[in-house]
Structure 1
Amino acid sequence: MTLLLGFALVAALGIGHHYGLLGVRAMKPNSNERPQGAIMVAFVGLLALHTIEILAFAVVYKVLLGWGLGALGGTYDASWNGLIYFSGINFATLGYTQIESSGPIRIINMMQSLGGFMVLTWSATFLYSVCERAWRE
């Protein structure tokens, strides 16, 4: 059951990321006319998008912990900062942290790591394409 929930969360992450990328692309100036502006808007837009994704998973962890679907231990201090840190580490580094998870929530951690890896590489490709267009001679 938790694997299906994790799958659904990562699917929602991918769909949201797609529309977030479309938003960043719409806000970015033309790479041929304002190349540095295009790169900066793309970078800051991606930073905002990933921060929102990390915060969304922190909310998911708060709900799942409230439902008793696992526990966080180690250096976890039961604060929003702790949840945001845990979510961000799972998202960006495949879960290597001083916070330990137990119970069914571990599957969500694993799926978030997979989803984070996927959207981070997607974003890197997007940023690379913006830079490639902006840096053409």
Structure 2
Amino acid sequence: MGLIVGFILVAVMGVIHHFGLRALERISGYDKWQPNRTILTVFMGLLVLHTAEILLWAVAYLALQSDPLRPVFGQLIQTGGRTFGDLVYFSGMSFVTLGYTEMKSAGAIRLVGLMQSLGGFMVLTWSATYIYSAWQRAFRLAGQTG
């Protein structure tokens, strides 16, 4: 069950990321007189997009940790309680580093975390390719080498 839920969440994240990049392309434009502005707009937009994705995963973990779903998915275990900030931390670490945190997971939620790590790697590399392409286009239009 955790693998299926994780797969669905990664698919949703892919759709969000796609439309986020499309919106970012419209917002940043390609100003041949200000290529640095274009690149910095893309960078800040990606920062906002990735942060939003991490927060959405934290909300998903919060839902999966609710009383009706906890018996199905297991739990994230941490000494000293668990806050939404802890779930954001777990989500962020899963998103960027394959989930190595002080929080332990037990049950099917481990597979959700695994899928977040895979999805995080996928959108991070997608974003790296996007910013590289934006760099090339912005400085090519400006007639500079960057």
Please indicate, yes or no, whether the TM-score normalized by the shorter chain is above 0.5: yes
Aligned-residue offset at 1:76: 6.9
Amino acid at match of 2:28: K
Aligned to 1:135, the other structure's residue is in SS state helix
Residue aligning to 2:86: 82
Contact preservation (8 Å) 1:39, 1:131? yes
Check conservation: 1:72, 1:101, Cα contact below 8 A. yes
Q: Which amino acid aligns with 2:116?
A: Q
- In 2, the alpha carbon distance for the partners of 1:112 and 1:55 equals 12
In structure 2, the residue matched to 1:23 is 23
Offset of 1:32 from its aligned partner? 2.1
- Say which of 110, 113, 120 aligns to 1:116: 120
TM-score, with length taken from structure 2: 0.88
TM-score (norm 1): 0.94
> Hey, what's the Cα distance between the residues in 2 that align with 1:62 and 1:92?
19
Measure, in 2, the Cα distance between the counterparts of 1:80 and 1:45. 24
One-letter identity of the residue aligned with 1:126: Y
Which amino acid is the alignment partner of residue 97 of structure 1? T
Q: CA RMSD in A?
A: 1.3
Give a deviation string over 1:27-71, Cα, whole Å, max 9, x none: 003142320110011000000000000000000000001120211
For residue 98 of structure 1, what is the aligned residue in structure 2?
102
Residue 115 of structure 1 deviates from its aligned partner by 0.2
Aligned equivalent of 1:3: 3
Residue in structure 2 matched with residue 39 of structure 1 by the alignment:
39
CA contact (8 A) 1:58 1:83 kept: yes
State the structure with more CA Rg: 2
Q: Percent identity?
A: 48
- Per the alignment, residue 50 of structure 2 pairs with 50
Q: Which runs of 5+ in 1 are unaligned?
A: none
CA drift of 1:107 comes to 0.5
State the 1:130 CA deviation.
Answer: 1.1
Partners of 1:107 and 1:77 in 2: how far apart? 22
Aligned CA distance change for structure 1 residues 65 and 76 (closer, same or farther; 3 Å): farther
The whole-number CA distance in structure 1 between the counterparts of 2:90 and 2:81 is 11
Unaligned runs of 5+ in 2: none
Tell me the distance in 2 between the aligned counterparts of 1:31 and 1:55: 32
Between the two proteins, the alignment pairs up a number of residues equal to: 137
